A and B are shown apart, each in its own frame.
Chain A
Amino acid sequence: MSLPELLKNRFPQYIIATHNFRGDETVLLKREGLLEVAKTLKEDSAFDFKILMDLTCVDYLKFGVTPFNAPTTVTPSPLPFFMKPTKDPKGEKWERPEGNASRFEVTYHFYSLSKNHRIRLKVPLDEKSPEVDSLTALWASADWFEREVWDMFGIVFKNHPNLKRILMYEEFVGHPLRKDYPVNKRQPLIGPIN
């Protein structure tokens, strides 16, 4: 039984969807279940994910809104769960039935040294309250990753011990990797705005 199926059997109430693209197991999760599922992933011997390899975020604000930034049909990687391809045979138009309800997707990559397997968790977050539980209590490496995601995307990690900017300076206003941050808006500490 594959890892996503194992998880799906154990937490049917939290799992939104699963997919396996070219051997990468991915599980989409409701944010209420993150802590519980993560604890199982770390401590259950069937999973034994001792390493949190990466933690990042995706902003889907402009994804698939125009053909220019729609996913390509040449390499058909899985669509975000909230999007559906239309019946257009060229596949150049995509539908977002929910609008921006799942604007952000916080992504976790886990690796197990003993079992040599990997899994990816994705937690979709609402535009209005981008909050999710912190994993610092389970994996210490989550500390700086979560600070980076807070700095760049403005995702609030609840119960994080030290949630402050890690890359940008404290005077910086906004979160630069959000798709609605103007791409070349600068906030210099000294010197002219250019």
Chain B
Amino acid sequence: MGAVDITKLDFFTSKLDAAIGWARKFSIFQYPFVTACCGMEYMATACSHYDVDRFGAGLPRFSPRQADVLFVVGTISHKLAPVLKTVYEQMTEPKWVVAFGVCTCTGGFYDNYATVMGIDTIIPVDVYIPGCPPRPENVLDGLMKLQTKIEKGEKQTKLYVPPRTS
């Protein structure tokens, strides 16, 4: 016996990460935060025709404490922003966020007193799915991109800081 061989430990843990990443990417428990018309397209994607269950994301959880991925589907107003942040903070690690539709990505065509200009100013966003609303194929593409991220263990931690502040 001697000192622990660190190189072997390194080798072993990285394989475990890969195994965990592979398992996690097919067990996405999503929390759908549905506020607006994008919800229709979300439902179309989740139902049997496009069958989101193929990606292991077929079981939405309606408690943020049981969820891994926060799907923000629809326009977020300034009145609702604190609620969204609370929901995000209630989720346990590891957690990811998907911005579904242009309103969540950038504010979309809204440029007024009521709308948050992109939820990434409030919570970190991993995958952006633009579209008004996005087609189900587009959503599935975003979901696969999210799976790649989960598999690699990547995660967005930074907020977007808008250049235009007053």
Contacts and interface: CB of A to CB of B under 8 A. Distances in A.
A194 B78 CA distance: 12
Interface in A117-147: none
B121 A168 contact: no
Contacts, number: 47
Output the residue of B113, B117, B165 with the most chain A CB within 10 A: B113
A184 B166 contact: no
A194 B117 contact: yes
A189 B121 contact: no
Contacts of B79: 168-169, 189
A192 B113 CA distance: 14
A184 B111 contact: yes
Size class of B's contact patch?
A: 10 to 19
Contacts of B161: 192
A176 interface: yes
A181 interface: yes
The prevalent SS among residues of B at the interface is loop
B162 A187 contact: no
Contacts of A181: 113
Nearest to B162: A194
B165 A190 contact: no
Interface residues of A, number: 16
A185 interface: yes
A186 B116 CA distance: 9
Given A169-B78, A188-B81, A190-B81, A176 B114 contact: yes
B48 to A, nearest CB: 38
B165 A192 contact: yes
Nearest to B121: A191
Contacts of A168: 79, 114
Contact of B113 (A185, A191, A194): A185
Output the residue of B111, B112, B118 with the most chain A CB within 10 A: B112
Contact of A176 (B113, B117, B162, B164): B113
Interface string B99-122: 000000000000111101110011
B164 A191 contact: no
B30 to A, nearest CB: 23
Contacts of B117: 186, 194
B85 interface: yes
Contacts of B122: 190-191
B81 A192 contact: no
Contacts of A187: 78, 113
Interface string A144-188: 000000000000000000000000110000001000010111111
List the 8 closest pairs (A to B, CB-CB), nearest first: A194-B162, A176-B113, A191-B121, A191-B122, A194-B117, A184-B111, A169-B79, A188-B78
Interface of A: 168-169, 176, 181, 183-194
Interface of B: 78-79, 81-82, 85, 111-114, 116-118, 121-122, 161-162, 164-166
11 contacts: A168-B79, A169-B79, A183-B111, A187-B78, A189-B78, A190-B81, A191-B116, A192-B121, A194-B118, A194-B162, A194-B165
Given A190-B122, A193-B165, 18 more contacts: A168-B114, A169-B78, A176-B113, A176-B114, A181-B113, A183-B111, A183-B113, A184-B112, A185-B113, A186-B117, A187-B113, A188-B78, A189-B79, A191-B81, A191-B116, A191-B122, A194-B162, A194-B165
